[in-house]
Amino acid sequence: MSPWLLAGLALCAPLAQAATLDVAWWRDGRLTALQLDDKGATRRAAFDGNRQVPLGSLWKLFVYVYAIDNKVPTPDYTCGGQKDEEVYCCTAGKRIARDLALAQSCGLFFSPARLMLARAPWRQYWSGRLGRGASGEYDWLADPSHLAPERLVSLRSLLAALASIPAGSRKDAESALLHVVLGARGVNTASWFGSRLRVKTYSWHHPQRPGERLGGAAGWLADGTPLWFGGADTSSRILEKWAPRLASTLPAAAPPGDAGCVVVDYFARYPIRSVAAGRAAAVPGLLNGPYQVRFENGRSLAFFSQNDMVLARDAQGRLRLTGRFGVNDYVARVIDREGGTAAPEAAKALAVAARTYLQQNAQWAEGCQRIADSSATQRVGPQPASVAARAIADWTDQLVLSGVNVRYHTDTASKDTMAWSEAVAQAGQGMRFDAILTSAYPGADLTTLSGGDSQQCVRLPGAQAWLARELPRWERALRRQAGYETPAELPAVCHLARGTPYSEQSRNRIYVRGLASREDRITLAHEFLHLGLRNHPSGQDEVLVEQVARRLVDARLEAHQ
């Protein structure tokens, strides 16, 4: 055992058991530490910055940042099929790129030896970032060879190192890490976090109890606040179990920077007769303050500009009014104009739909997306966005749908078209935004503006057909199973390229590798039971679920013997 591991064990505070979760964040050079328990209590934690925590998979995040800032070549990793660790990367013959490798925790991609990371420039970089030598409790950052998953590091040094990362490379890392809550590792948690959580997960062995797993994550909130949490279980189970409590415990974050640029051609279908500032005609140019626009049809409308709207005359002498906004400001104005915020979960779904519609339909011109304010596209409020709408746009920052052409309507639903009235009703019934989106766009995937790194659904028709055939027989047996509820629709069975099979409750999906063997069929039944028992405590009992799954599958086998 390494000397630094032995030294760390002596300082290691008692780690959180299954019934508790330890949480810490770093702001203004100060650490806040809390402990949550499964009874609903939140208390100041007994540990401080000296707390020793396993580095686990977090080392990959520091290699990622270093590689970006120092322009280190990061060629795709090609999976050969001979290494067990490739289960976190790709299937044999496939390749994985840097961002997905970070979200999927592909350690082979970030191997310091593969990337040829040298000790001297590495140490110089981190000493410069920390403003001090990489020694003492920061010794783990002194040499890339020190980045071992079993390494124990002080919580203070971990959070301070995260705080030292420059905004540019942090933004790249955050963009990649947003996919954690959208993919297998954060299954069923986007409902609670939206885009607030940008963290790298880790799972490791308990240093004092070898049979026990430790898991959690570290990274940032949307405003760059460094965050860590951990407990006794795997990272994916911790995320799923603690997501509601963790989401309500996290500190309020400042709105993320509003990236992008959207130019809106206002009142595209209504010719403008005049624009007035008080009793005088408005002067063409950048507008600031209250104004009133009068249309050729005789109607008028008051609006307010904060140096973000421009009045001009086109080549034919007609008045034109355009606005220039960040993407989230634009989305918030659409929420105010097309829906409202009285039903927050419906408004979140609308925010994702509106952002997706913009990406799919806007024209690019001079570095901005350009789109008309029109009932033929989507309407955009001419007033500054309400505080509530802007908060929802920020909460869903960067989240979009892929796989369908998104539309929505006030009260009429159709294929790939969300009805706002139905979304409001669903929110009133307790549905969260991602479930509302799945209901409206069943063929879509929730992903981010940076691309499709989240788990996509590639259907397995054979497995889907097998489940459809077996389900009536299963349900006759499951009527006696406490807590079982038939899913409203047959779950989609999707191909799992890497990682552990799982079910995704919010999108009614099951991810498995295939249906080639008895064990594959038991796995599919197992994950189906998680959906059927989703509202009952037994749905979290892995032993019970596995026993029932085996009985369901083996009953069919016995019937054919």
- Phi, psi torsion values for 504, nearest 5 degrees: -115, 100
Contact status, residue 31 vs residue 24, Cβ threshold 8 Å: yes
Provide DSSP, 473-503: HHHHHHTTSTT----SSPPEEEE--SS--EE
Secondary structure of residue 315 in the 3-state scheme: coil
What are the pLDDT digits (tens) for 476-514?
Answer: 999 889 899 988 788 889 887 666 788 877 667 888 888
Sorted by sequence, the CB contacts under 8 Å of residue 417 that are 6+ apart come out as 407, 408, 409, 440
Gap between the Cα atoms of 209 and 227, Å rounded: 25
First to last CA, the chain: 53
447's tokens: 């992903």
Q: Which H or E element spans position 511?
A: strand 509-512
The one-letter amino acid code at 140 reads: W
Give the pLDDT of residue 496.
Answer: 79
Tokens 């789109």 sit on residue = 371
What are the pLDDT digits (tens) for 286-329?
Answer: 999 999 999 999 999 999 999 999 999 988 889 999 999 999 99
Cα torsion angle, 461, 462, 465, 467, sign: negative
Q: Which residue has the higher pLDDT, 180 or 183?
A: 180
Secondary structure of residue 392 in the 3-state scheme: helix
What top-level class would CATH report for the domain 3-72+117-249?
Answer: alpha beta
Contact status, residue 550 vs residue 527, Cβ threshold 8 Å: no
Q: Where in the chain is the domain with CATH 3.30.2010?
A: 461-559
What is the tally of helices (H) and strands (E) in the chain? Answer: 16, 25
Q: Where in the chain is the domain with CATH 3.40.710?
A: 3-72+117-249
180's tokens: 């954690």
Gap between the Cα atoms of 533 and 478, Å rounded: 10
- Residue percentage of the chain with pLDDT more than 90: 58
- Phi, psi torsion values for 30, nearest 5 degrees: -125, 145
Q: Which residue has the higher pLDDT, 290 or 1?
A: 290
Q: Where are the alpha helices (DSSP H) in 277-419?
A: 327-338, 344-361, 387-395
The one-letter amino acid code at 376 reads: A
Give the pLDDT of residue 443.
Answer: 84
Q: Which residue has the higher pLDDT, 289 or 16?
A: 289
Give the pLDDT of residue 539.
Answer: 82
What are the pLDDT digits (tens) for 443-474?
Answer: 888 988 876 444 567 889 999 999 999 999 99
State the average pLDDT over residues 247-266.
87
Give the pLDDT of residue 503.
Answer: 82
Contact status, residue 228 vs residue 246, Cβ threshold 8 Å: no
Q: Do β-strands 407-409 and 399-402 pair in parallel, antiparallel, or remain unpaired?
A: unpaired
Gap between the Cα atoms of 280 and 287, Å rounded: 14
CATH number of 461-559: 3.30.2010
pTM tops 0.75, yes or no: yes
Mean pLDDT of the chain: 88
Secondary structure of residue 550 in the 3-state scheme: helix
Give the pLDDT of residue 14.
Answer: 44
Residue positions counted in the chain = 561
Q: How far is CA 156 from CA 30, 227, 462, in A?
A: 9, 11, 51
- Residue percentage of the chain with pLDDT more than 70: 92
DSSP letter (8 states) at residue 136: G
What are the pLDDT digits (tens) for 368-423?
Answer: 899 999 888 899 999 999 999 999 999 999 999 988 889 999 999 899 999 999 99
What are the pLDDT digits (tens) for 152-172?
Answer: 999 999 999 999 999 988 988
Give the pLDDT of residue 499.
Answer: 63
Give the pLDDT of residue 556.
Answer: 67
Nearest to 189 by CA among 230, 235, 223, 254: 235
Q: Which residue has the higher pLDDT, 258 or 545?
A: 545
What are the pLDDT digits (tens) for 518-544?
Answer: 999 999 999 999 889 988 888 878 889
Contact status, residue 238 vs residue 231, Cβ threshold 8 Å: yes
Give the pLDDT of residue 12.
Answer: 44
Contact status, residue 90 vs residue 70, Cβ threshold 8 Å: no
Give the pLDDT of residue 63.
Answer: 96
